[in-house]
């Protein structure tokens, strides 16, 4: 069995895509640093996170999705050194499921790694991610969303709740909380904090910019309303390719727009949740790599517009621009302009 296993369980929207991208793109270098990333790739760790939670529709994600956790566990059992499992959906596990994961890895020394941010940033980024993945719920509805089966809810966005479920599975010194560095920090600080915990000592090539770009307030509300009409886009692959990839990150991001924020009521809720999480971290003595104060919602948040302020006129303008670029895409897919098709037809016509 692996002597030591690091479980990076999230939270979502805390630089996880950035960190995982560096890891998987440099898997051989990770291995030379003495750390095994089990499985065939990022997707298998996602499947494993859902498999641990007993998701009923797991087979819809792929024929090998069911049983993914067992395969990772077995590969770690054959490895004599350090292992790393990383996916943000693990943080949605119940306390019993978390305890079972740690027990499955015995007798390895298990460390739980939690990347985190203040709750207002988490809620705004998490809701936007939900919309990019086809979600239709308004931001104001999120606090009332119940159940343990969603990756887009307080189940995974509330640091205090995640620590309550996972924090007792290993000794407190083996629970590592990594607050996301602030804007004044070096761009590689988040990676270096993470790599230092896991034991990755080499110099890794790092991307120039964040993996996920944000939508403006008008654009994210337009996408949410478009999602209400996309009845045929049910599979994760379809949602990822067309809603997230094509609509959101190819076209709507390009429109720019003002940053969106929270209503006063949601902001007050986020402050309470952040304060509760920081109190627990200090009381339990978890290992903090970074500034724990960064997990508190700042008093001086930058100016942001609540989504409820978006007007119908703004939505119409953004929709018009979106339709225009989509029509240009359709024209290209259909063979280009009428003139270009005519020239192409003429050049291929048989001569007398």
Domain boundaries of the chain, sorted by first residue? 4-212+263-302, 215-258+311-352
Residue 242, pLDDT above cutoff 60: yes
**Amino acid 342: pLDDT:** 52
- Buried b or exposed e, range 28-66, using 16+ CB within 10 angstroms: ebbeebebbbbbeebbbbbbbbbbbbebeebeebeeebe
**Amino acid 235: pLDDT:** 87
Residue 211, pLDDT above cutoff 90: no
Does the model's pTM come out above 0.75?
yes
The 10s digit of each residue's pLDDT in 158-171 is: 999 999 999 999 99
Residue 338, pLDDT above cutoff 80: no
Q: Name the DSSP letter for residue 187.
A: T
Residue 344, pLDDT above cutoff 60: no
The closest alpha carbon to 178, from 151, 152, 159, 206, belongs to 159
**Amino acid 349: pLDDT:** 54
Q: Report the C-alpha gap between 128 and 131 in whole angstroms.
A: 5
Across the range 197-215, mean pLDDT stands at: 87
The 10s digit of each residue's pLDDT in 49-70 is: 999 999 877 877 888 889 999 9
Q: Does domain 4-212+263-302 have CATH number 3.40.50.300?
A: yes
């Amino acid at each position: 069995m692996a002597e030591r296993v690091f479980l990076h369980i999230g939270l979502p929207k805390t630089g996880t895509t950035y960190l995982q991208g560096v890891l998987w793109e440099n898997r051989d270098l990770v291995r030379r640093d003495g750390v095994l990333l089990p499985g065939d790739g990022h997707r298998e760790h996602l499947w494993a996170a859902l498999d641990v939670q007993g998701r009923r529709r797991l087979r819809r994600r792929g024929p090998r999705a069911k049983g993914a956790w067992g395969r990772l566990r077995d590969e770690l059992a054959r490895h004599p050194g350090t292992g790393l499992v990383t996916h943000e959906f693990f943080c949605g596990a119940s306390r019993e499921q978390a305890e079972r994961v740690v027990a499955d890895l015995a007798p390895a020394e298990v460390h739980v790694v939690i990347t985190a941010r203040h709750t207002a940033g988490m809620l705004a980024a998490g809701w936007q991610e939900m919309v990019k993945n086809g979600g239709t719920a308004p931001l104001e509805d999120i606090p009332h969303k119940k159940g343990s089966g969603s990756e887009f809810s307080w189940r995974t966005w509330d640091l205090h709740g995640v620590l309550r479920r996972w924090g007792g599975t290993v000794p407190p010194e083996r629970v590592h909380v990594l607050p996301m560095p602030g804007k004044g920090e070096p761009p590689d600080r988040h990676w270096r904090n993470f790599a230092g915990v896991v034991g990755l000592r080499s110099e890794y090539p790092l991307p120039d910019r964040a993996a996920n770009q944000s939508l403006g307030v008008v654009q994210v509300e337009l996408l949410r309303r478009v999602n209400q009409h996309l009845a045929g886009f049910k599979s994760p692959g379809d949602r990822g390719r067309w809603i997230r990839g094509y609509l959101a990150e190819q076209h709507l991001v390009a429109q720019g727009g003002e940053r969106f924020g929270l209503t006063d009521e949601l902001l007050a809720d986020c402050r309470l949740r952040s304060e509760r999480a920081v109190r627990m971290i200090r009381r339990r003595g978890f290992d903090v790599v970074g500034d724990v104060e960064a997990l508190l919602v700042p008093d001086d948040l930058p100016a942001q517009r609540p989504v409820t302020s978006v007007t119908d006129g703004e939505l119409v303008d953004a929709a018009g621009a979106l339709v225009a670029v989509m029509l240009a895409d359709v024209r290209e897919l259909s063979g280009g302009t009428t003139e270009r098709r005519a020239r192409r037809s003429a050049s291929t016509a048989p001569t007398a």
